[in-house]
Structure 1
Amino acid sequence: MAYTLKRRVSYKASAASLSHNLPAIFTKSGLLISHLRYLYSNRGKSPSWMERNTFAVELLLKFIERQVSNFSSATELLRAFVEALQFGTIQDGQDSSGLFWSTRRNEDVNVLLHHITDYCDYLDTVYGTDLPKLNPLRKATHAEERLQWCAYYRRHSRSFLNHLANPSRQQFSVVRMIRGPERHLVDIEAVYRFPENRIEDLLLHGFVFPSGEPDYASQLIVMLMHFGGLRLSECFHIYVHDVHLDQKSGSALISVFHPSDGQSPDERFCKRNEYLATKYRLNPRNEYSRSHRLYAGWKGPLLTNRNLSFDVMFYPASKAVEFTLVLQKYLATKPSSESPFLFVNSKGNPESKKNFYQKHNRAVRRIGLEPSKSLGTTPHAHRHSYGYRLSQGGFSQLEIQKAMHHKSPESCLVYLKPSDDEVRRQMRDTH
């Protein structure tokens, strides 16, 4: 019986290389070794990218198992696969394929198709041209070529190193035979922000232990997000060594380093991945699988220091002093830990995202609110509040980009544009 299974395996490219924990696909014929080698060649990418790529290949294999005899060419099979993703496989309550797939969003279909195409290009490169091409190139029409040039210039106009790019006309003269559905252009109305008038309640009355003692660690994490603009995952990459004190003002000075390539706090080691592995037998937290309790993502923020870090900018600036006061209380009661991370749980182990989410939900309910993205009461809403507060404070687009560590100045536009309600209010006021 045909089957497709995903399991995690330890993979070494050679006897001298390091082992890597990667997702692997097994079929009735055994391990799909070509895909495992493909993931290894992309080992610098995030765990979520690897999981999504593996999922895409799994779906294609399942489709092939059910459909391969119905198509005369690999390209036609891929076309049918894309249609099955987009429209589903169920019609009138029946599904002759036995897949029972529901419809998917156009954006999701395009991401899955991109993963499949990239893997197939890898197979062409490694194994030559004897294999049937799933998604070959064809000559682009004049309109398609023009659109590709427009897209290229739009992307590179926002790149810091755009002067180094040297595109050739040939690369835009071809397109893929199988293309995904058209993406919809959506103007998202607004981001959801944590209610500014309830943040002090959350900090003072929300984060308390059952004993009644304050949960200083959670208070600090919220302050880093709400008044420092950090993403939640970035908080979990901070070491105790990364926090310093401005002796004149009493303000906390906090640097967030690249989890693996950032400068080590111990000069005996070059980078943080070496420091973690040698001293603590830990990996950088973004290199664990998403299901691991130590996993914390890394969105690739704009690094502004040569040691591959960026500095937290508190707004209002007075919050940096308040952060110091809470930090002193936290460090005085912090459980002893065998890791360098600033935030640990009651057992001294590095704090996890899952555990903090639960704490945040309880804290929100404790002050009479409900945890909900649409209400702005989830952890990421604090970063949105930070960006909106900067825009209301008169900061320019480039200044907000710098404070929020975005690589593109366009990423912070969502904090500058008015919401639908604000536009309607202005229409009423000017009538």
Structure 2
Amino acid sequence: MAYILKRRVDYKANQSVLAVSLPVLITDKGILVSHLRFLYTKRNKSQSWLERNVFAVEQLLKFMNAHSSTFTSATELLRSFVDVLCFGSIDDSQNDPSNLYWSPRKVEDVNVLLSHINCYCDYLDEIYGYDLPNLNPLRKATRAEERMRWCAYYKRESNCFLNHLSNPSKNRFEMIRSIQGPMNHLLSIESVNRFPEEHFQRFLKYGFLNHRTREVDFGCVLIVMLMHYGGLRLSECFHIYIRDITIDVKNSTAIFSVFHPSDGASPELGFSNRREYLNTRFRQKPRNEYQRSHRLYSGWKQPLLTNKNLSFDVMIFPNNKAKELAWLLEQYLAVRITGNHPYLFTNSNGDPESKKNFIQKYKRGVERIGLDAGKCFGTSPHSHRHSYGYSLNQAGFNQLEIQKAMHHKSNFSCLVYLKPNDTDIRNIMRKNDI
């Protein structure tokens, strides 16, 4: 009986390198070794990327098992696979002869899955040769398609600092995929949701207040302040060490630095980077290298690093909030429970605070002040980063200044945080109403 299982293994490419923990797909014929080797070549990708790639290939294998004798070519099989992803496998009578019972997926999701499969198939082509049957072969592009791909190329290259050194082949975009996913919808989301400013101070005051003991969870408040007035992503807060904070005695402010979780400079001499420091001192890994299900996992979005030690300093805005952060840090450190780790934020046992635990406390805090918790309401942790970018724009900072303050690699990435919502536009219309 055909089956597909997903497990994790410690994989060694050869005897001279360390083992790497990777997800693996196991079929009734054994381990899908080529995919495991492919994942090893992509081991520096995020855990989210690896998991998504495994899921894409797993879905394709399930589809192949369900239709093992239906298709005459691999290309026809993949085309049907994309159709089933788009429209589902259940007919109008709610029957499914394939027994997959897949529901239709969003256009964006289909394209992501197909891109992962293409990436894996290209790896197979490199290893085994292009003369073998190709699951998604290249075909001659039309003139219009070729032009559009050149437009996309030059738009992408214009964002590169050394684009004048790039000299692409004229034939580079004459070939495109025979099978492509559906066209993504052009969507301008009304609300790049910011935390409602009129409720923010009340949230800080009462959201993390224990009504029984009247004690404030200063750690949670500090995280929220770093996101709202420093623009940090939630995941970045959990990579901060205590020793990443310096005090500016002259201005009575605290300077928070965020280091690359593995390659950033060690806080102690004698270690090449933070990965070595964590392993030697605490027998831990950088938090972005754990599985997503691990309580210590915290992602890393590859922000723009601005210091040679592979870090960036948090830029507090408005500036008067820097002193409040320093005072809040002092209150938090006075009650912080110490544990055997370097991280700033800890739980009640002294272990590193987890994202999951904070998100639960955050949700309760939002509901405690009478608001609904959720991204669509502007009351998710990430909404504070949106508030930060929008406040910089409202204060007159230009696009490049906002890019650096928010640590984006592209000066276009911050535009999503600066878009006015429908309410802003209506207010402008009312002001200009004659």
For 1:346, the equivalent position in structure 2 comes to: 348
**Residue 153 (structure 1) aligns with:** 154
- Counterpart residue number, 2:362: 360
Partner Cα distance (1:131, 1:28) in 2: 24
Matched residue type, 1:418: P
Q: Give unpaired runs (5+ residues) of structure 2.
A: none
**Aligned equivalents of 2:405, 2:90: Cα separation in 1:** 49
2:162 maps to 1:164: no
- SS of 1:78's equivalent in the other structure is helix
The answer as to whether partners of 1:397 and 1:416 remain within 8 angstroms in 2 is no
For residues 65 and 414 of structure 1, the distance between their equivalents in structure 2, rounded to whole angstroms, comes to 42
Measured against aligned partners, the alpha-carbon deviations of 1:137-182 in whole angstroms (never above 9, x if no partner) come to: 1111111110110011111212233233221112111111111111
Q: Deviations over 1:79-128 (max 9, x none)?
A: 11111111111111221211111111111111111111111111121223
Deviates more, 1:17-26 or 1:193-202: 193-202
Which ranges of structure 1 fall in alignment gaps of 5 or more residues?
Answer: none
Give the CA deviation at 1:197.
2.4
The 1:213/1:425 distance shift into structure 2, 3 A limit, reads closer
Root mean square deviation of aligned Cα: 1.3
Partner of 2:174: 173
Q: 2:67 aligns to what SS in structure 1?
A: helix
SS in 2 for 1:411: coil
- 1:32 corresponds to: 32
What are the Cα deviations for residues 157-215 of structure 1, in whole angstroms up to 9, with x where unaligned?
12233233221112111111111111111112231111212222222222134532211
Q: Counterpart in 2 of 1:106? A: 107
Whether the 8 Å contact between 1:25 and 1:54 is mirrored in structure 2 is: yes
Within 5 Å, give how 1:278-357 maps onto structure 2: 278-357=280-359
- Normalized against structure 1, the TM-score is what? 0.97
Residue aligned with 2:54, SS: helix
Q: Bigger shift: 41-50 or 168-177?
A: 168-177
The aligned counterpart of 1:203 is: 204
8 Å CA contact retained: 1:206, 1:362:
yes
Offset at 1:131?
4.3
Supply the distance in 2 between the matched residues of 1:247 and 1:288 (Cα, whole angstroms): 37
Q: Distance in 1 between matches of 2:305 and 2:105?
A: 36
Q: Which amino acid aligns with 1:294?
A: L
> How far apart are 1:47 and its partner, in Å?
0.4
Task: Find the counterpart in structure 2 of residue 256 from structure 1.
Answer: 258
Is the partner of 2:6 in helix, strand or coil? strand
CA contact (8 A) 2:192 2:419 kept: no
Partner AA of 1:64 in structure 2: M
* C-alpha separation in 1, matches of 2:298 and 2:161: 27
My pick for the range that moved more, 84-93 or 163-172, is 163-172
> What CA distance in whole angstroms lies between the structure 1 residues aligned with 2:243 and 2:217?
21
CA contact (8 A) 1:194 1:376 kept: yes
- CA change 1:330–1:424 in 2 (3 A) is closer
SS of the residue 1:52 aligns to: helix
**What does residue 11 of structure 1 align with?**
11
Deviation of 1:413 after TM superposition, in Å, equals: 1.5
> 2 CA distance for matches of 1:258 and 1:305?
11
Structure 2 CA distance for aligned equivalents of residues 423 and 222 of structure 1: 28
Distance between the aligned counterparts of 2:26 and 2:101, measured in 1? 21
Change (3 A) 1:423 1:200: closer
**TM-score where L is the length of structure 2:** 0.96
Query: Partners of 1:60 and 1:130 in 2: how far apart?
Result: 22
Which amino acid in 2 is paired with 1:56? A
Q: Deviations over 1:270-310 (max 9, x none)?
A: 11111111111111111111111001011111111111111
Percent identity, please. 61
Match of 1:71 in 2: 71
Aligned to 2:229: 227
Separation in 2, partners of 1:130, 1:412: 44
Give SS of 1:172's match.
coil
* Matches of 1:315 and 1:429, distance apart in 2: 28
Distance in 2 of aligned mates of 1:160 and 1:281: 39
**AA paired with 2:82?**
V
Moved more, 328-337 or 291-300: 328-337
SS at match of 2:386: helix
CA distance in 2, matches of 1:427, 1:201: 30
The one-letter amino acid paired with 1:262 is G
Give the Cα separation in 2 of the matches to 1:293 and 1:282: 13
